Structure 1
Amino acid sequence: MAERNPHTTRNLRRLCVALAAATLMSGCSFAPTYHAPPTSIPTTFKEGGAWQLARPADRVPRDAWWSVYRDPVLDRLEVQVAVANPDVAAAIARHDEATSYLAQARSGLFPTIGADASVIRQRQSDDRPLRGTGQPSVYGANTVDVGISYDLDLWGKVRNEVSAGRAAMQASEADLESVRLSLQANLADAYFNLRGLDAQQQLLNDTIDTYQRALKLTLSRHAGGIASDLDVSRAQTQLDTARASADDIAARRALYEHAIASLTGTPASNFSLDPDTAEAYLPSLPTGVPAALLQRRPDIAAAERRVAQANAQIGVAKAAFFPDISLGLDGGYQSTTLSPWLMAPNEMWSVGPSLVMTLFDGGRRAAITRQARAKLAENGAKYKAAVLLAFQQVEDNLAQLHHLGDEAQRQNEALVAAQRTLTLSMSRYRDGVVSYLDVVTAQTTELDTQIAALNLNTRRLLASVGLIEALGGGWSADGPKAAPDVQAAQTRGTPSHSVANAG
């Protein structure tokens, strides 16, 4: 066995040491240890009552939450939002952009391989400085070359760029969910407002018929000398006012119909919805919501991911203070003639590390680092603001559902009393006991009370949509599914109002 050259042995030892050091340093990163910004999270909602803690799965589908309203027309329209709305298409494109950015960042983790080939015929100047004697004036330079370069990423710059790109992509995914959820909630709001106006239109049509009969009765009594001209004028005013209100309802309904058309990606001129006076189903939503479910909101998820992105960008900025070290390997053939070209005597190669470092930049890198830290602080504050807004929105809608439910009960009692008052007034008017002013007053009160009841029902539907949106969507037609610990509590007979499938 031939004895190894000592010089070669020393070089191999040095190479092994260098590779080992590079391997150890490749885990270095100057990004701060990431922690989500601390926020104050209550254990219960003030407006929600008692609840049992739930631990829902990390990934819960957000689709078809609107099916809890049991309205096939709404179901059909909501599906169109996701596939035809241009705002959703724009959000999908932004997500694709973020995905491509991540792919670009990831490419830095792998070697770069390049190839070059050239066939050149050139002439050098006879008076070129330092031209050697005997050098030809015209010569060829034919080259085939393949090179490999790999950034060692000793300071974690590339890895932090990948982390930042991944966080940006995840934020764009959450943004896409936010856009979808917002548009779906907007559609549900417009739809329930439109259906509420349909019910009011039907009420006014019935009222107009009633007022026409009342006017006919008043005219008949006037002809018999029982009723005065003032009674006729009052009856006519009531009828005309009701007709004007019906026209106003038609105008307002048209606006909601046009809004629904745009949300579903349809020109308003080509879209119409037939009136439907069936009473909308109001789902029974849990009165207590675990605060942990607010983390399911896509806007909060997007805000948290942008904090992580800014945190990784600090590592990228700080790595710029250290040299970029890369390993390069280059080899090929070069010859002045085409034949023979790819022959051993024409072989050329180079191998070795390279170091690039900025020694002075007038404070540019320090400013970039300060900017990255400021961006982290900004995104952290935005995350906390998103969390606070989420709690407020849930509390707002819980309060609306709670108090509007109580108001609806009182309103129904008032409607019964108003209808009884109108019946008594008409009976006494026919008997000649009271003037038509009492009838007009009773009719106005009864109509206003009925309209208030219809508006209240619409407001309760809108509050339920707002609550679902505040929870991040994710409701199913079968109702919320409790986590195992909640199911155990229910088995023991403990009441639970936890929402485990909202998110």
Structure 2
Amino acid sequence: MTLGKNHTPLPQSGKPVLATRHAASLALMVVLAGCAAGPDFERPAPPVSETYSSHADNALVTPAPSAVDSAQRVVPGMPVAAEWWRTFGSPRLDALIADGLQHSPTLAAAQATLRQAQELQQARAGSTQLPQAEIGASAQRQRFNPGALGQDQDPREFSLYNAGVTVSYNLDPAGSNRRAIEALSARADTQGFELQAARLTLAGNIATAAFARAQIAAQIESTTALLANIEEQRDIARARLRLGNAAADEVLALDTQTEQLRAGLPVLRQQLAETEHLLATLAGRAPGQGGVPDFALSEFTLPQDLPLVVPSQLVRQRPDILAAEAMVHAANADYGVAVAQMYPQLNLSATLGTQALTGDALFGGQSIVWNIIGQLTQPLFNSGLPHEKRAALAGFDAATAHYKEAVLKALRDVANVLVAVDTDAHALAAQSSAAAAAQGSLKTMQRRYQLGAASHVEVLIAAQQAERAQLAVIAARADRLANSAAFYVAMGGGPVPAEVTE
């Protein structure tokens, strides 16, 4: 129940005015005790559209790019596995991600922030939902001058001792405390969803970096073979130049290709080292500790079935969207707190204690004192309260806009990765066909060379074309793996395993 704009009706004639006012006040307090100021939170409506992109169907099926590369299909309604990275079939990747989830300082910070938010919520609940009790004692020495009261007596000095227990409670008729606790609880939910998003991002980053490491290692191997091939061709051209059977331009062109490839190798090795450093830090290790697996593309299998949830379900399971929704909830509760400040506040307190002029008499039966206080306050003029209310409303509008932005970003992520999955398959198919043609050309040239119908240089040129085509295949296969991991991340991952949350 939320506070509305209805007012208590005026008493009818013929009733005692004082009794009527008391009854109306009591009824108002009873009603307000079950109310909370401001509107109750309502979850934003999910997207109406059930498709992600006009360029890719929800039930996408890609063809097998080659005899060694599998087809892939997107399966709407298929649940996302909790440990989705296991679908890539690499025990070493599984172990590295498990290490990262356990030792990552990023996750440790997110977990600590979550605990902090939960404790703040519990602290506010503990200090407002139950009465507060305090025990105190004091001793003072003071001088009393009767002359200040017009009495003709000498000043007196005496000691005064006090001890007692005070109990206080805020009835919170407008629900200010309840809304504040609701806001803190929503912020704790936000931290929980952000922790889940951090886990998902970490797993996705480790998987993507592992695929990149495997791609770079394969590129170094293929580039090294290509460099050896061109160097051999250059040596032959130099020998022909000495014999007068080749032009200097041919040798210079081969020198250029050789040095360009040689210059590329250190860059690839640097990228390999940086990727291994990244994998180490993602797993919570110092780069100098080592222990990063030497991933190879051959140890990964491409997931043949990719689970897809429709947009209306995506907004209910993707952690970054849920975090943004929780912030809208918190902002809605903050608005309720600002509204509640404009309603009456009722505080009750009671003190039971003793008071005496000597310490020995402090706990005597004649020294007991007590008081009960009920305090009702209603703001009459506070020019800041309307501004605080409007500020809270603006905060709610901003949180709502951020939520819509998070939803649009998530829909874009899924749309992009759907198109990428389809594009990757077709790109790999084209690169595989080109590599197969280049390999066929190399075999033909090798047979011609054996028959004396082709030169060794022609064989080397055909081998170079085959190596370059293989480099493109390596990149295309790595792209398929990386975008498959991005697909799982875009879906929001699956439920977090219990052992990970501990």
TM-score tier (shorter): 0.7 to 0.9
Deviation of 1:296 (Å): 0.7
C-alpha change, 1:83 and 1:297, in structure 2 (3 Å) is same
Does 1:69 find its partner at 2:78? no
Q: CA RMSD in A?
A: 3.4
Does 1:28 find its partner at 2:35? yes
Q: Deviations over 1:161-202 (max 9, x none)?
A: 111111111011001111221122122211110111111122
Q: Which residue of 1 aligns with 2:358?
A: 337
Kept in 2, the 8 Å contact 1:65–1:476? The answer is: no
Deviation of 1:467 (Å): 0.8
Q: C-alpha distance in 2, partners of 1:333/1:384?
A: 61
Kept in 1, the 8 Å contact 2:211–2:297? The answer is: no
Match 2:429 to one of 409, 416, 422: 409
Q: Which residue of 2 aligns with 1:41?
A: 48
Comparing 366-375 and 23-32, the one that deviates more: 23-32
Match 1:313 to one of 334, 346, 353: 334
Q: Which residue of 2 aligns with 1:293?
A: 314
Q: C-alpha distance in 2, partners of 1:215/1:221?
A: 10
Q: What letter matches 2:305 in structure 1?
A: L
Deviation of 1:445 (Å): 3.1
Q: What letter matches 1:299 in structure 2?
A: D
Match 2:185 to one of 163, 166, 173: 166
Q: What letter matches 2:272 in structure 1?
A: R
C-alpha change, 1:315 and 1:332, in structure 2 (3 Å) is same
Kept in 2, the 8 Å contact 1:28–1:156? The answer is: yes
Kept in 2, the 8 Å contact 1:123–1:137? The answer is: yes
C-alpha change, 1:155 and 1:359, in structure 2 (3 Å) is same
Comparing 214-223 and 278-287, the one that deviates more: 214-223
Q: What letter matches 2:390 in structure 1?
A: R
Q: Structure 2: any 5+ residue segments left out of the alignment?
A: 1-17, 60-73, 498-502
3-state SS in 2 of match to 1:44:
coil
Does 1:82 find its partner at 2:89? no
C-alpha change, 1:132 and 1:145, in structure 2 (3 Å) is farther
C-alpha change, 1:269 and 1:132, in structure 2 (3 Å) is farther
Q: C-alpha distance in 1, partners of 2:78/2:174?
A: 39
Q: Which residue of 2 aligns with 1:328?
A: 349
Q: C-alpha distance in 2, partners of 1:330/1:135?
A: 34
Does 1:250 find its partner at 2:293? no
Residue identity (%)? 27
Q: Deviations over 1:138-165 (max 9, x none)?
A: 2111111111111111111111111111
Match 2:202 to one of 158, 183, 199: 183
Q: How many equivalent residue pairs? A: 461
C-alpha change, 1:12 and 1:342, in structure 2 (3 Å) is farther
Deviation of 1:119 (Å): 2.7
Q: C-alpha distance in 2, partners of 1:476/1:84?
A: 16
C-alpha change, 1:23 and 1:476, in structure 2 (3 Å) is closer
Kept in 2, the 8 Å contact 1:68–1:476? The answer is: no
Q: What letter matches 1:44 in structure 2?
A: T
Q: Structure 1: any 5+ residue segments left out of the alignment?
A: 1-10, 478-503
Q: Deviations over 1:439-483 (max 9, x none)?
A: 565444322211111011111111111111111111899xxxxxx
Q: C-alpha distance in 1, partners of 2:250/2:453?
A: 14
C-alpha change, 1:438 and 1:214, in structure 2 (3 Å) is closer
3-state SS in 2 of match to 1:348:
strand
Match 1:422 to one of 427, 439, 442: 442
Match 1:154 to one of 161, 173, 176: 173
Comparing 149-158 and 12-21, the one that deviates more: 12-21
3-state SS in 1 of match to 2:477:
helix
C-alpha change, 1:443 and 1:230, in structure 2 (3 Å) is farther
Kept in 2, the 8 Å contact 1:119–1:143? The answer is: yes
Q: What letter matches 2:434 in structure 1?
A: A
Kept in 1, the 8 Å contact 2:211–2:295? The answer is: no
Kept in 2, the 8 Å contact 1:231–1:436? The answer is: no
3-state SS in 2 of match to 1:315:
helix
- Counting only pairs closer than 5 Å after superposition, residues 262-281 of structure 1 correspond to structure 2 as 262-271=281-290, 273=292, 275-279=294-298, 280-281=300-301
TM-score by length of 1: 0.82
Kept in 1, the 8 Å contact 2:146–2:152? The answer is: no
